[in-house]
Every structure is written in C-alpha cells, then in structure tokens.
C-alpha cells in the first residue's frame, strides 16, 4: 500500500520570482552545490522550452549512511535519478517529479503546484512512495517520506536564500 505526504514551501516572494529561479540553470547548480552538504549530487540535464522546465538530478547516498532497514535491501550505494517537469508560468505553474533507483524495490512520484498567497507564494509538493517488499515495505515508505520532507525543507531554505540574494 502506498503512503502519501504533502509539503508546502512558503516564500515571501511572488510566484513569478520563484518560477524565474526555477528556470535558471545557475539556480539549480547552486542548489545542487548546497545539497552536496548532505550527499553527492549533480545536474544531469536542464532545459527550458516553450512548454516549461525539464531537469534531471542525480543524488548518490552511500550505503553506509542508510538506515539498517534500507541497507538490508540496498547492497550498493543508492543512486537516485530525480526527474522534474514544470509547466510554463501563467500566474501559477504545476509540475511532476519521479525518483528512481536502479533495481530499487519501489517508486517515488509526485506533483508540484506553485501559486500566489497573501504573503508571497507557496510551492506545494504532493508525494507518493510505494515499496513492493512484504512486511517491511511500509517502514521503508515511511522512511522515504520522512527523509523527503527533510530534503524539501533544505531545498526550500536554499531557495529562500537564493531569492534574497538575487
């Protein structure tokens, strides 16, 4: 059974300012650089077209840093490929993401919605984790989502700092 969680990153900037950052390669490179404080990361692909923004990020989590329950399943370092897609901005924007792990026993997918608020804007991310392993699948799903919220929080802090500086 899949588990779901929502995370809302609230910014004091207008949604068009956040979208402008999302559509800038320098922003993603700076975000990946900040995320290297937690794990190896890099931007694999970045493209802005008339249809929106497409990017692919790679995260590498050393097996030795994974919780015991995850080490029981993953026999090597965890290489996560994260694909994100945002629509064009028209007062708001939506998007999707998926994270995959080669030979991983599950999936992580989600959607994003960037919209205006009285105080600035919110980027809401709705995520779904599925792990296809009897007995421990639910524990792994919950672990994935808890760590995902920590990641989203760190990314939101970095985005807020980027917006303040640019």
Q: How are beta strands 40-49 and 52-61 bridged, if at all?
A: antiparallel
Question: Is residue 38's pLDDT more than 80?
Answer: no
Residue 64: give its domain's CATH number.
3.30.530.20
Average pLDDT score over residue span 16-21: 98
Looking at the structure of the chain, the number of domains it has is 1
Q: What is the pLDDT of residues 132-143, one digit of tens each?
A: 888 888 888 888
- Cα dihedral across residues 15, 25, 44, 162: positive or negative: negative
Cα–Cα distance, 41 to 125 (Å, whole number): 20
Q: What is the pTM of this model?
A: 0.89
Full domain range(s) for residue 116: 3-165
């Amino acid at each position: 059974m899949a588990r779901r969680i929502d995370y809302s990153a609230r910014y004091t900037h207008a949604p068009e300012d956040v979208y402008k950052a999302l559509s800038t390669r320098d922003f993603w490179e700076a975000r990946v650089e900040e995320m290297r404080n937690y794990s190896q990361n890099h931007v694999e692909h970045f493209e802005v077209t008339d249809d929106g923004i497409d990017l692919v990020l790679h995260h590498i989590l050393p097996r030795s840093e994974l919780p015991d329950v995850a080490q029981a399943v993953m026999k090597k370092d965890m290489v996560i490929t994260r694909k994100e897609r945002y629509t064009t901005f028209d007062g708001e924007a939506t998007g999707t993401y998926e994270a995959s792990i080669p030979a991983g026993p599950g999936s992580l997918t989600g959607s994003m919605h960037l919209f205006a608020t009285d105080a600035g804007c919110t980027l809401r991310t709705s995520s779904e984790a599925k792990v296809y392993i009897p007995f421990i699948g639910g524990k792994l799903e919950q672990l994935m989502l808890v760590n995902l919220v920590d990641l989203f929080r760190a990314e939101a802090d970095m985005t807020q700092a980027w917006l303040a500086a640019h």
